[in-house]
Structure 1
Amino acid sequence: MLTYESTSRFAQAGPIRVHYHEAGEGPVLLCIHGGAPGAFGWGNFGRNLEELSRRFRVIIVDLPGYGRSDKPDVSTGRNAMYAETMVALIRELGLDRVHVLGMATGGAVAIRMAVDHPSVVERLVLVSAAGGHAVYQLRPKESASRIYYGGEGPTMEKMRAYLEQLLYDPTLITDDVLLERYEASVEPEFMVQAPEGRSSQRHTPDDLWKRLDEITAPTLIVWGRENRTQSFENAVFMLSRIRKSQLHVFGECGLWVPYEKMAEFNALVKRFLYVESSARLRA
């Protein structure tokens, strides 16, 4: 069985030392996690690695500021910096083109890669991705990270309440998942420097929705109908703007689709990416 430690790697991506996990052979699939209290690559995608690595060379990154990657102070242009770091990592690993899977904040990074560096992105999978546009979704009164780190500070109870916002089925929040996420959220460097930590820097998201029609890569958009952070109205908007796109919406599912609908999600991604891989092999 693949483990956190057995798949753990480091590489220098420009000025940033990036931590990542790697397993499997074949076409490369770069997985970029979301941004939230205690987020990191393995936490978002580690449970998908065993299955996906049977067909792909899977690389699961920790974004700068998260997990075991360097934690620079980023005050502006966060998505652009993340995208540049991911491209530098791809080059450092001796790769030319990769499939890119991004969830939530990682989806925004994947979009930025696809519009700024189209030659690098083979196919794109956007899961509950930031970067869409919703007319009717109400904005939360306060960010989840401010609630989590405010008051008496992080607690296991607060983390459980936060994860319950990400999942449709709260019974999937096992003790292991809860502890893994909580421990990552209280790591001292994360709390000081991560955008979802206690950093006083405000981060204004890019208006990526204005650039969706620049994406040329075939794109799979994946959403949970009960996503309370990014309503599936965002997904429909992306479908209307990205030329070579298709949309799959899971019922009874929240934001964290790769975990909540694990088997179906793995099969969906493999099927979508295998079309491109097979075509290249025939050529």
Structure 2
Amino acid sequence: MMLTRDNTSKFVQAGAVKVHYHEAGTGPVLLCIHGGAPGAFGWGNFGRNLEALSRHFRTLIVDLPGYGKSGKPQIEGPRTSFYARTFRDMLEALGIANAHVMGLATGGSVALKMAIDYPELIDRLVVISAPGGLSLFQPMPPRPDTHNYYAGEGPSMERMRANLERLVYDPTILTDEVIRERYEASIEPEFMNQAPEGHGGKPGQTLEPLWQDLHKIQAETLVIWGRNNQTINYDNALFMLTRIPRARVHIHGNCGLWVPYEKMEEFNSNVTGFLSVDLTARPAQ
């Protein structure tokens, strides 16, 4: 059966938050956490990877609280900690003792926070284009001006196209379907009024200084970046490599922030290999 947005859709009560997610496959659990931006949601970031990943893993693609079909709670304090607690509660509610956790951008920060605060839950960690490190060689490049998306004339397909073009190296790979999917999510009334990247949100609450605690992460970690990421320079990946004890880094040339989409086949293979290989095996002498 073809995996679709509808036939993989599920809900679970995770503490005080009703979390929407997509599920497919069997085997070790892989929790996938999307990034934050106007109209972002789990299927939009990772839905195109689900078929390949679900051949090897029980793959759960979540909507962050405030996004997609998940609940839209009022969040006090740093959102990264709130999200990490929510997904801890989600795993407990589903009877999952531990999981591989993979996050993109803001979702990568949440994955890092889970590995710092709840190490017993994490098997292996995949972090993609995520805040949480520091720039080693140069100042951070300017962030895309996504928080003005709702200002002035308001949302439009043209504005959404411009936002998404900043996330990839080659904008011609962005289909009208992808742009419309994200645009329609960005104009959902609840998202616009409540989500952190909606016009009523508080984007300044997103980040915590995770770089100070990266050395505490004990999970085997794969850090993935695009060399042409306009939002967070790839030397942040090298900083994570110096701080996370059991880390390795894969940097794609001619690639922006949205690696799972722009380098889909290589990304799927890379992640599957990392999560499946016996990292303790030694070569024969």
* Aligned residue number for residue 95 of structure 2: 94
Moved more, 12-21 or 149-158: 149-158
3-state SS of 2:21 partner: strand
Q: 1:69 to 1:276 in 2, by over 3 A?
A: farther
User: 2:258 — aligned with what?
Assistant: 256
1:205 aligns with 2:207: yes
Deviations 1:48-96 (A, max 9, x none): 0001000110000001000000001224221001000000000111110
Equivalent residue, structure 1, for 2:30: 29
Residue of structure 2 in register with 1:155 after alignment: 156
The amino acid of 2:31's aligned partner reads L
User: What displacement does 1:162 show?
Assistant: 0.6
1:178 corresponds to 2:179 = yes
Counterpart CA distance in 1 for 2:273 and 2:201 is 43
Cα distance in 1, alignment partners of residues 151 and 118 from structure 2: 38
- Partner amino acid, structure 2, of 1:205: L
CA distance, structure 1, for counterparts of residue 176 and residue 201 of structure 2: 31
Which residue pairs with 1:53 in the alignment? 54
Indicate how the Cα distance of structure 1 residues 123 and 204 shifts in structure 2: closer, same or farther if over 3 A, else same: closer
**Are 1:216 and 2:218 counterparts?**
yes
SS of 2:166's equivalent in the other structure is: helix
In structure 1, C-alpha distance between the alignment counterparts of 2:236 and 2:279, rounded to whole Å: 28
Q: Tell me the distance in 2 between the aligned counterparts of 1:3 and 1:194.
A: 25
Shift of residue 200 of structure 1? 4.9
SS in structure 2 of the partner of residue 166 of structure 1: coil
Is 1:227–1:254's contact at 8 Å kept on the other side of the alignment? yes
| 1:11 Cα deviation from its structure 2 partner | 0.3
Deviation at 1:40, TM superposition (A): 0.3
Counterparts in 2 of 1:138 and 1:123: CA distance versus 1, 3 Å: closer
User: Cα distance, 1:111 vs. partner?
Assistant: 0.6
Query: Structure 2: which 5+ residue stretches go unaligned?
Result: none
Aligned length: 278
- Asked whether the equivalents of residues 221 and 248 of structure 1 are also in contact (C-alpha less than 8 Å), the reply is yes
Does structure 2 conserve the Cα–Cα contact (< 8 Å) formed by 1:25 and 1:53?
yes
Q: Which amino acid aligns with 1:156?
A: M
Residue 277 of structure 1 and its aligned partner are, at CA, apart by: 9.6
Residues in 2 aligned to 1:162 and 1:222: alpha-carbon distance in whole angstroms: 21
Contact 1:216 1:243 in 2 (8 A): yes
Q: What root-mean-square deviation, in Å, do the aligned CA atoms of Structure 1 and Structure 2 show?
A: 1.5
- State the identity %: 58
In the superposition, the TM-score normalised over structure 1's length comes to 0.95
**What SS class does the counterpart of residue 277 from structure 2 fall into?**
helix
Instruction: Kindly report which structure 2 residues correspond to 1:260-275, keeping only aligned pairs within 5 A, or say none.
Output: 260-275=262-277
* Deviation, structure 1 residue 143: 5.7
Distance apart, 1:276 and its partner CA: 4.9
Residues 243 and 264 (structure 1 numbering): CA distance in 2 closer, same or farther, change over 3 Å?
A: same
Q: Take 2:201 and 2:10, find their aligned partners in 1: how far apart are those partners?
A: 31
Q: TM-score, normalised by structure 2?
A: 0.94
Structure 1: gaps spanning 5 or more residues: none
Distance 1:278 1:93 in 2: 29
Q: Distance in 2 between matches of 1:108 and 1:208?
A: 8
How has the CA–CA distance of structure 1 residues 278 and 187 changed in structure 2, closer, same or farther, with 3 Å as cutoff? Answer: farther
Give the 5 Å matches for 1:107-146. 107-135=108-136, 136-138=138-140, 140=142, 144-146=145-147
Aligned mates of 1:276, 1:196 — CA distance in 2: 40
Give the AA of the match of 2:123.
E
Instruction: Give the deviation of 1:278 after TM superposition.
Output: 10
Q: Counterparts in 2 of 1:71-90, with a 5 A limit? A: 71-90=72-91
Shift of 1:144: 2.5
- Displacement of 1:146 in angstroms is 2.1
